[in-house]
């Protein structure tokens, strides 16, 4: 357990650990309803990185989790297999490699998730409950009668 904590709190992996704490706090805020999972969608376009099709928060959360798991796991393996001197030189290389491998894993995981996140969210239930279709046009009533719209009183002083 001590080796695991040292690997997670070691210098190169510490960056991924801090990012993982931020990701966990963000998803707790989403679960509490204080933030939305699409909060960052207008800020970045991930198609150039191969991670498009899902919300930015989902893509970077996956990237962070994979990078942390890979960097921490290889840090534990380095601590067990390599003496202390050379392990210190390999840790920054392992962190960079973990980031590259996690980017590739994220690209692979995002492809099937794309179907779960449509490009445009559908209309809310309140719009449909008001008797309007997706375009905002009033739907005819079931018995074929016209839907009456409330009249707005006009000012006769003009």
Residue 149 has pLDDT above 60, yes or no: no
Q: Name the pLDDT band for 21 (thresholds 50, 70, 90).
A: very high
pLDDT of residue 146: 56
| Neighbour-count burial for 6-32, b at 16+ CB within 10 Å, e otherwise | ebbebebbeebbebbeebeebeeeeee
Question: How confident is the model over 30-50, as a mean pLDDT?
Answer: 78
Q: Mean of the per-residue pLDDT values for the chain?
A: 75
Instruction: Give the span between the Cα atoms of 29 and 42, in whole angstroms.
Output: 19
The answer to whether residues 75 and 7 touch, using CB atoms and an 8 Å cutoff, is: yes
Question: How confident is the model over 106-125, as a mean pLDDT?
Answer: 69
E strands, 12-107, are none
The answer to whether residues 64 and 20 touch, using CB atoms and an 8 Å cutoff, is: yes
Question: How confident is the model over 11-33, as a mean pLDDT?
Answer: 89
């Amino acid at each position: 357990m001590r080796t695991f904590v040292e690997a997670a709190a070691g210098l190169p992996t510490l960056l991924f650990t801090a990012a993982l704490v931020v990701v966990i706090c963000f998803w707790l805020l989403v679960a509490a309803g204080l933030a939305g999972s699409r909060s960052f969608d207008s800020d970045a376009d991930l198609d150039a990185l191969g991670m498009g099709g899902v919300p930015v928060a989902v893509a970077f959360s996956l990237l962070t989790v994979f990078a942390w798991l890979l960097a921490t796991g290889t840090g534990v393996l380095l601590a067990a297999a390599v003496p202390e001197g050379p392990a210190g030189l390999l840790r920054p290389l392992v962190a960079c490699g973990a980031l590259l491998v996690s980017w590739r894993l994220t690209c692979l995981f995002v492809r099937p998730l794309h179907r779960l996140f449509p490009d445009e969210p559908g209309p809310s239930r309140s719009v449909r409950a008001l008797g309007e279709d997706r375009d905002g046009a009033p739907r005819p009533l079931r018995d074929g009668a016209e839907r009456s719209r409330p009249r707005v009183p006009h000012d006769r002083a003009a």
